[in-house]
Amino acid sequence: MKSYEEINRKIAAGDAVVMTAAEVAGYVERKGLEAAAREIDVVTTATFGPMCSSGCFLNFGHSSPRIRMTEAWIQDVPAYAGVAAVDLFIGATQLRHGDPANMNYPGEFAYGGGHVMEDLVSGRELQLFALSYGTDDYPRREVRTYFTINDLNQAIMVNPRNCYQNYNVAVNLSDKTVYSYMGTLLPQARNATYSSAGQLSPLLNDPHYDVIGIGTAIWLAGARGHVYAEGTQHCAIADRNDYGVPSEGAGTMALTADMKQMIPEYVRGVSLRGYGVSLALGVGVPIPVLSPAHLQRACIRDSDIMAPVVDYADDYPENSGRILKHVSYAELKGGGFELNGKEVAAASISSYNKALKIAHRLADEIRRGDFLLAAPLGSLPRESRNRPLKIREAAQ
Amino acid sequence: MSEPTVTRKLMLFFPRCECEKPIIYHLVKDYGLVVNVFRAKVTPEEEGYLVLDVTGTESDIEKALAFVKTFDVKINAAGKGLHWDAGRCTHCGVCLPHCPTEALFYGNPDKREVAFDEDKCIECLACIKVCPFNACSSAF
């Protein structure tokens, strides 16, 4: 057994042994679990993909005379101004003002909240336009100005739900193209899309939330960030296989970090034809090897991870709950799987390439002594369920 | 021995319309070229373009290009109407099943790194529509 303190002492001294979740399974097979657990201190996990439940709080500082913003737009993308005078929140899926959306079906969705976040992190100059009704203490009623992230007091990313533990594989069984948040799905299951780093994915390497909890230090697009809460829709109660892999989405995390420390490569606006805008984000999570059992769980392989295949033409929109079958990430990454006697070409909407890069980057930071672990202050819920929205005809 | 045939991809740009002249006809009829048009937009009073493969002997292709140059047409012999931006690509691979000629493919399968083979691209533009990161763009 190792403690967080022991591991952090080794990291600080530059002596920590760190491996990515992609490398560790093979190493443990060669060395044996007990010996490898004594040797390895940290396993790095990562993912990169669209994470719609993302946004950021920005503080602009006060102008002379002051304004208390009540409506605001950044690059014509509406921001939420219902917080303090010069604080704004902008969400990843917010469309730009005047976007025709799906009136020209399928809509293009060239720019939105996710792109504002990408531009911010890239240091580009953005336009702020804000209105107010004017008060005695905040008399200014309109402001139009230009700013970069360096002009802001704070730019704090806040992601209520990231890093779904497992995720659907989307297909389209109908006769016409489906435009979805999982990408363009061709008729009669001519393609399938999935969204997970599989064996590298953070919560699949700690399936029962033993070491990832509230307060865990994470790598969020290059910044040192934290898990601040369970993610929205976190659903710990799920059918799980022998490796703890849930048969559906299950666990999620809420993440936060300082955008001023982020790297543009890992904060990317997303345009999904016919669906809308979003943000793709890179996340790295270190798993401390506190015991052989923790290491064992971090040895999960793509062949052990099964994902549910769901029809996005009918079952997903109708929320029927029907799952067509389960397929392994080994099959998905191998290029496809069989469905109703036909081979379906599978492609990922998350990037394993970037996830791998992040796992290596985080491993390097830990080896250099630049990234210390943080023991969780609290656990992610292990009993919670996910409720559907009930539509009531009348107030009760 | 007869001169071997080669295939060259050409991008022709029409600053103003030369569309009343049957240029392609002459490429086929007078220079014996095999022509495969990928994309064309030649409309009166507008800028136009033509992206095509021509197959023939080097000398016939040279003569044909000299003929094309007698019109108000710009020839881009390195012509690629479809640009893949390696920096914007996140290598997710969501485009791969949509690319009919495997011009977009995993160049490094271990790292799952997407690569683009310009010579295989037929400019169907499917990738532009499905790329979430705007990594693919058209010159036109």
Q: pLDDT tens digit string along A314-370?
A: 999 999 999 999 999 999 999 999 999 999 999 999 999 999 999 999 999 999 999
Q: Do A353 and B111 touch (CB under 8 A)?
A: yes
Helix (H, G, I), strand (E, B) or coil at B90: coil
Q: Check pLDDT > 90 for residue A134.
A: yes
* Residue position matching structure tokens 């683009």: B116
Cis, peptide link before residue A100, omega less than 30° from 0: no
CATH classification number, B5-76, choose in 3.90.245.10, 3.40.50.2000, 3.30.70.260, 3.40.720.10 = 3.30.70.260
Interface check B93 vs A, CB under 8 A: yes
Which residue in B91, B114, B134 is closest to A271 by CB distance?
Answer: B134
Q: Which fold has domain B82-138?
A: Alpha-Beta Plaits (3.30.70)
User: Which residue in A278, A353, A360 has the most chain B C-beta atoms within 10 A of its own C-beta, making it the best mutation to test that interface?
Assistant: A353
Instruction: Looking at the complex, report in whole angstroms how far the Cα of residue B68 sits from the nearest Cα belonging to chain A.
Output: 37
Please answer yes or no on whether B133 and A270 come within 8 Å at the CB atom: yes
Nearest-CA distance B100 → chain A (Å) = 12
Interval B11-34: pLDDT, tens: 888 776 666 678 889 999 999 999
Residue of A nearest to B130 (CA): A184
Q: Is A187 a domain residue?
A: yes
Binary contact (A273, B129; C-beta < 8 A): yes
Residues of B within 8 A of A184 (CB-CB) are 98, 129-130
Q: Which residues of A are less than 8 Å from B96 in CB distance?
A: 345, 347
If you measure CA to CA, which chain A residue comes closest to B91? Answer: A351
Predicted confidence band at B1 (pLDDT cuts at 50, 70, 90)?
A: low
The pLDDT tens digits for A15-33 are 999 999 999 999 999 999 9
CA–CA gap between residue A172 and residue A175 (Å, rounded): 8
Q: B20, B111 in Cβ contact below 8 A?
A: no
Q: CA nearest A345 in B: which residue?
A: B97
Q: Where in chain B is the domain with CATH 3.30.70.20?
A: 82-138
Which candidate from A50, A183, A268 shows the least CB-CB separation from B130?
A183
Q: Confirm whether A35 is domain-assigned.
A: yes
Assess contact for A155 and A257: CB atoms under 8 A.
Answer: no
Please check whether residue A322 lies inside any domain of the structure: yes
Owning domain of residue A365? 4-52+157-379
Strand ranges across the sheet with A126-131: A77-79, A71-74, A126-131, A142-147
**Residue B78 confidence (pLDDT):** 66
From CA A271, how far away is CA B133, in angstroms rounded? 6
Q: In one letter, which amino acid is A200?
A: L
| The pLDDT of residue B79 is above 80 | no
Q: Are strands B113-116 and B104-108 parallel, antiparallel or unpaired?
A: antiparallel
Chain B window 95-124: which residues touch A at a Cβ cutoff of 8 Å?
Answer: 95-98, 111-114
pLDDT tens per residue, range B88-121: 999 999 999 999 999 999 999 999 999 999 889 9
- Helix, strand or coil, per DSSP, at residue B51: strand
Q: Which of A114, A120, A108 is nearest to A91 (CA)?
A: A114
CA distance B108 to B130: 21
Q: Answer whether residue A132 is part of any domain.
A: no
d(C-alpha A261, C-alpha B139), whole Å: 35
* Distance to chain A for B3, nearest Cα, Å: 42
Gyration radius of chain B over CA positions? 17
Residue A14 lies in a domain: yes
How close B136 gets to chain A, by Cα (Å)?
A: 12
> Are the Cβ atoms of A353 and B113 closer than 8 angstroms?
yes
Segment A145-153 long-range contacts (CB within 8 Å, at least 24 positions apart) = A147/A60, A148/A120, A148/A123, A148/A124, A149/A120, A149/A121, A149/A123, A149/A259, A149/A260, A150/A123, A150/A260, A151/A60, A151/A61, A152/A58, A152/A59, A152/A60, A152/A61, A153/A59, A153/A60, A153/A61
Check: complex ipTM more than 0.90: yes
Q: Is residue A122 part of a domain?
A: no
Instruction: Note the pLDDT tens digit of each residue in A58-112.
Output: 999 999 999 999 999 999 999 999 999 999 999 999 999 999 999 999 999 999 9
Tell me if residue A370 falls in helix, strand or coil. Answer: coil
Question: Residues near A9 by Cβ (< 8 Å), separated by ≥ 6?
Answer: none
Quick check: is A86 in a domain? no
Quick one: pLDDT at residue B18?
60
* Residue pair A52/A281 in contact by the 8 Å Cβ criterion: no
Task: Tell me how many domains chain A contains.
Answer: 1
Q: B75 — contact with chain A (CB < 8 Å)?
A: no
CB A112 within 8 A of CB A276: yes
The pair of structure tokens assigned to A230 is 């369970």
Q: What angle do CA A73, A74, A76 make, to 5 degrees?
A: 65
- What percentage of chain B exceeds 90 in pLDDT? 54
What number of other Cβ atoms are within 10 A of residue A115's Cβ? 24
Are B114 and A353 within 8 A, CB to CB? yes
Is B92 within 8 Å of A191 when comparing Cβ atoms?
no
Residue A201, token pair as written in the block: 């994915």
**Residue A225, domain member (yes or no):** yes
